Amino acid sequence: MTEAERKEEDTVAYTIENGIAWVKFNRPEKRNCMSPKLNRQMMRVLDELEFSDEVGVLVLTGEGSAWSAGMDLKEYFRETEAQGLGAVRKSQSEAYGWWRRLRWYQKPTIAMVNGWCFGGGYGPLHACDLAFAADEAQFGLSEINWGILPGGGATKVATNLLNMRNAMYHAMMGENIDGKKAAEWGLVNESVPLDKLKGRVTEVANVLLEKNPVALKATKDAVRRVMEMTYDNAEDFLIRAQEAANSFDNDGRKEGIRQFIDDKSYKPGLGAYDKSKHS
């Protein structure tokens, strides 16, 4: 399919298999760069999947050789800039909007980085809770190579995930790193050969599907929130976050304790309790 034929609704594809939603950037002929159309469609897809009972984990990956080649230099930058400030702000809001939605998504999320990942792609990469890359993937803050700073949150992502020297080198040099280096630097959790990537991500997703979903959402939010807090504020926040989670799922917590202390049917240090035994 050529780009001229690709409709807005075809810029993102997804399937749901055994509790896992496999969501794909779907503009392979444009290396999955993010156009305003793709950004709007991604928000629709996230909206559709977030509270679906069929979905326990969301995986974000790319069709073809790219995960995402970042923002679309033609449709996101040149064409919106030609329409003036209002169009620029609207496009930014559409892009940043779905990344924010993903950062605080109800379900656990995994970035499965199968290939190129550039610039603006760091927004959704960071928005996913976990990230797994192919050894063959290439990551780059290429902005400096075409004359801008890494905006759209990319500089913030680099400084959140990398140490200062690596963030600075990465942003200033415009050199790419492969999946292995990305894992060594902390940009992703792990890197495996491309032909093992889906298998590894499925394995991780299946572990997450076993966990108590209320506890998972509370945990992933807590990790992002406490990073910006003092120790004392974090301590207080965590007490309140747990108490709020209890009001939705105290039975799960009690069942977890019961199966360990009374039934002796599992050990929390070695795996999750059987959540099928409570409503």
CA distance 255 to 123: 38
Of positions 56, 62, 108, 120, contacts ligand COA by CB under 6 A: 120
Q: Kindly identify the residues of this chain, within the stretch 48-107, that bind ligand COA according to CB under 6 A.
A: 65, 69-74
Number of residues that bind ligand COA (CB under 6 A): 16
181 contacts ligand COA (rule: CB under 6 A): no
33 contacts ligand COA (rule: CB under 6 A): yes
Residue 34 DSSP label = B
* Nearest to ligand COA of 67, 273 (CB atom): 67
Residue 212 amino acid letter: N
What dihedral angle (degrees, nearest 10) is formed by the CA atoms of 211, 216, 219, 224? Answer: 130
Residue 131 · residue 81 · CB < 8 Å: no
CA nearest to 1, candidates 91, 61, 63, 45:
63
Q: What angle do CA 197, 125, 74 make, to 5 degrees?
A: 110
* Nearest to ligand COA of 175, 236 (CB atom): 175
With tokens 């991604």, the residue in question is 42
Q: Give the contact letters, 134-163, x = binds to ligand COA (CB under 6 A), - = no.
A: --------xx--------------------
CA distance 194 to 23: 18
Q: Of the ranges 10-18, 81-89, 113-121, 252-260, which one interacts with ligand COA (CB under 6 A)?
A: 113-121
CB of 158 to ligand COA, least distance (A): 13
CB of 95 to ligand COA, least distance (A): 11
Q: Which residues bind ligand COA (CB under 6 A)?
A: 30-31, 33, 65, 69-74, 116, 118-120, 142-143
